[in-house]
Amino acid sequence: MQDLSMVFQRFRGLSSQFGREFPAGSVGILGARLDLARSFVFPGFCDVHVHLREPGFSYKETIATGTRAAARGGYTDVCAMPNLDPVPDCLENLERELSAIRRDAVIGVHPYGAITKGERGETLSDMEAMAPYVVGFSDDGKGVQSREQMRQAMERAKALGKIIVAHCEDNALLRGGYIHEGAYAAAHNHPGICSESEWGPIARDLELAAKTGCAYHVCHVSTRQSLELIRQAKKSGVDVTCETAPHYLTLCQDDLEENGRFKMNPPLRDRADREALVEGLGDGTVDIIATDHAPHSAEEKSRGLKGSLMGVVGLETAFPVLFTWLVLPGLVPLERVLDALTAAPRRRFGLDTQGDYCVWDLDSPYEIDPKQFASLGRSTPFAGWKVYGKCLATIQGGKIVWLS
C-alpha cells in the first residue's frame, strides 16, 4: 500500500469534478454540524443493481431498510431489480412496488420491469405499459434462455427507448454448480459453474444487440472472456455497457471459505479473472461498479457454500473496499472509481444527480462490522476487513438522508 501522506496529498489536487476537501474544523450542512477536517465531498453514488426485496420478501429487506443502507454507503440513487412477488411484469404488479417506494424510500429508487412474465422466459411482459415508470427491463436472477425471446425483447425495448439489462447465465451449463469450476471446487468436492455459462449468453446477446440496435447492459461481469467479448463489441460499435461488483474486483476463488457469505451468483472466479476485471475497470471497458446488493436472512446464509442461498450485501461496504484495496494500492485511480460509481451509471440510465452528494472521511481506518449495517442483510465476504473511508453524511434532493 502506498504511503498515505502521499496519497492524500495527491487527492487534494483532484479536480472539483470529482470532489473537494473541506478546510479543517466543522461546518454546517442543512442545519447539522460536521467535523470535516480532511474530509471529501463526492457526487452521490448511483447503484444500478440492487435487490430491495419488497414486495414479497420483506423479511430479507424492505424499501425503508435498503434505501437507508444505501444512504449510509453514500448512494443517492439505486435501480431495483424485479425478482419480487408479484414480479413487476405488468402495470398492476409494478404499482405494488411503486407504492412502497413512494411511501418508504429515503433516496431515489428506480425500478426495473421484468423482461418476461413472471421472469419465466416464456412470454414477454407488458413492456409498453410499464415503460414510462421503469428505468429498463431485466429478468435478473434468471438468464433469458431463448435466443428468439431475447431478440423480441430487444426489438420491443428499442422501440420503447429502454435498455435491456441482462443476467447472463446458460442453465444448460450449470450442472448443479454453485461456486466457480476451479481449483477450490475440485479440492473441496463442490460442483462448479463454468465460465462459459456466463460468456456464452453474452456472445449471443452482443450479436442480437448489434442486429437490433438495442441499448444493452451486462450485469455482474465476472470472467475475463466476458470482458474481452464486451471490449471487442464496443470497438465494433455495439451499444453495450457492463458492470462488475466490488467482490469480483477484490476477491477470487483463492479467498473462498466454507461459509455462505462467500456464495453469490456469478461466483468468485480465478485470480486471472479478477486481475482482468481490475484492468478493465482501469481502461474503461468496465463502465459501472454496481453492488448486486442481495440480502437474505441469517438462516438462509448459514448453510455453508452448498446450502446457502446466492447473494451478499454490498451497499454499505462498496466505496470503503474499493478505496482501500484498489485506490490506495495504486491499482485504479480514484477518479476512475468515482466515475464508475457516479457519472457513468447516471449517463447510461438517464438519471439526474439533482445536486446530490456525500461526505467522506478518508483518513480514519475501521473494521467492517455487519452488526452495524442498516440493511437487514448481514452476509458479506468483507466482514472484519480493515478499511479506510467512512461516510459522514449523504444529501439527496436537499435533504440529509444519512448522518454519521
Q: Name which of 379, 374, 372, 353 is nearest 70 in CA terms.
A: 374
Q: Residue 292 and residue 227: Cα distance in Å, rounded?
A: 18
**Helix axis angle, 224-235 to 196-212, nearest 10°:** 10
Q: Residue 299 and residue 142: Cα distance in Å, rounded?
A: 23
Q: What is the Cα gyration radius of the chain? A: 20
Print burial letters for 241-255: b (CB count within 10 Å at least 16), e (below 16). Answer: bbbbbbbbbbbbbee
Q: Which of 89, 140, 270, 292 is catalytic?
A: 292
Q: Name which of 190, 197, 205 is nearest 157 in CA terms.
A: 205
Is residue 339 annotated as part of the catalytic site, yes or no? Answer: no
Question: What beta strand segments (E) does 104-249 contain?
Answer: 108-111, 164-166, 179-180, 192-193, 216-218, 240-244
With 0-12 / 13-18 / 19 or more C-beta atoms within 10 angstroms meaning exposed / middle / buried, residue 90 is middle
Q: Helix (H, G, I), strand (E, B), or coil: what is residue 129? A: helix
Catalytic residue numbers read 292
